[in-house]
Structure 1
């Protein structure tokens, strides 16, 4: 293993550690809820291995629990995960050295934390395969492992809201969002997206607020005027 490879792995692990602390309770809650809703251990694990989308998995479980028709379950999952189309369009620009098979694997691992880590990384240096897959694969294994723990020992967790576990990931995502505050029109995009999301949540309800709010942010970012060069030069004429 070369020195550069070791450095990339260490960088990925440093960024991943706080994410693991947020993802593990969330995965355990999913595993516990899955078993409580009637899934077998293997079904709960298979869901995490194949779908790998925590919020969508929980949403699907809740709808299955109220006997919702399969088409509405699928539509909800697609709507909730549509933001990943936007993620792949953004991150795909940085995967020029990835082969088609490596890109397919990279997009499978493209979760919310992976997107944030990749975009933050390219602000400092090129995104390497070592960094991306070290971060993505380990996060995937953490999610599967926490699902297993939750499915086996879920009855010991009880009410997840009592311990604030349902609030762990939103706090993490907010902190992740703020790492991009130096980008052009950040506050305009973020506030526009949040406002539209809240309006849609109050009118159409979930999960449409996630997708439509994200699309609103993309639209505002596309039409917002870029920073003038003079403003980005730190006073340099």
Structure 2
């Protein structure tokens, strides 16, 4: 292992910090998942399908997109495509994280499954690297919250009636707004963020669902490549 390679052993202290930092997001995830479990059952999904989907996919906006399309009578292919486009942002996020992960491509790919928006943002260091143990800890507690929230929604959501009246529909947008504000305050990649926002907003009025996110993600990829090239020549 070279001096610049990431450590293979997990830092337990960083893992615990990740769990603590991820707990508030886990509570928010549980509320969103509660809404998802209820929506999935209302859309014709069985409680088993809803829970398995959350356990395997673990991707809120993609799951909501897929369930909504399925409920509207769309095909399985359309639901999968929409979910894929919505989560295309994980492509540049994975590219940024990869150098901080040990092992070959397969092992790094498996570790990359721990990427969720809040964990990725909080695990980022000022030098552009990522705290792998912190990322794992933060995501682990959020995964538990997401699955448990779905279970509660699938079994007890019907008792709540319209979950929007409790404000659950505002949790997800607020969650992403908090992450965006944190990134803007840090001063990292403001130009890339602005370019992605302009591209997405320009495409929203006429592009199919998910395409604006895909285009914005491609802009982020270009920004990452240029940043890496600049740092390499510095």
Match of 2:82 in 1: 76
CA distance in 2, matches of 1:127, 1:216: 21
Normalization by structure 2: what TM-score? 0.81
Q: Distance in 1 between matches of 2:166 and 2:131?
A: 38
Q: Equivalent residue of 2:115, what SS?
A: coil
Aligned residues of 2:22 and 2:119 also touching (Cα < 8 A): no
The answer to whether structure 1 residue 173 and structure 2 residue 176 are counterparts is yes
Matched, 1:88 2:94: yes
Question: How has the CA–CA distance of structure 1 residues 44 and 226 changed in structure 2, closer, same or farther, with 3 Å as cutoff?
Answer: same
- Aligned residue number for residue 112 of structure 1: 117
Q: Which moved more, 1:215-224 or 1:60-69?
A: 215-224
The alpha carbon displacement at 1:226 in A equals 6.8
1:152-197 deviation per Cα after TM superposition (whole angstroms, max 9, x unaligned): 11113332332221221222222212323333551x3222211211
Give the 3 Å change call, closer, same or farther, for CA 217–89 of structure 1 in structure 2. closer
Against the structure 1 CA distance between its residues 64 and 201, is the aligned structure 2 distance closer, same or farther, given a 3 Å change threshold? Answer: same
What is the TM-score with the length of structure 1 in the denominator? 0.80
Aligned residue among 177, 191, 194 for 1:191: 194
Q: 5+ unaligned residues in a row in structure 1: which ranges? A: 228-237
1:41 to 42, 47, 63: 47
Q: 1:64 aligns with which of 64, 67, 70?
A: 70
**Larger relative contact order (C-alpha < 8 A, sep ≥ 6)?**
2
SS for the counterpart of 2:187 is coil
Q: SS state of the match for residue 183, structure 2?
A: coil
- 8 Å contact from structure 2 (residues 65, 83) kept in 1: yes
Structure 1 residues 77 and 116: alpha-carbon distance in aligned structure 2, compared to 1, 3 A threshold: same
Q: Could you tell me which residue of structure 2 aligns to residue 17 of structure 1?
A: 23
Shift of 1:40: 1.4
Aligned partners of 1:32 and 1:151 also within 8 Å: yes
Q: Aligned-pair distance for 1:128?
A: 5.0
RMSD: 2.8
Conservation of the 8 A alpha-carbon contact between 2:70 and 2:79: yes
**Structure 2: distance between partners of 1:127 and 1:193:** 22
Q: Give yes or no for contact 1:109–1:140 (8 Å, CA) kept in 2.
A: no
Distance 1:208 1:157 in 2: 34
* Whole-Å separation in 2 of the counterparts to 1:190 and 1:108: 23
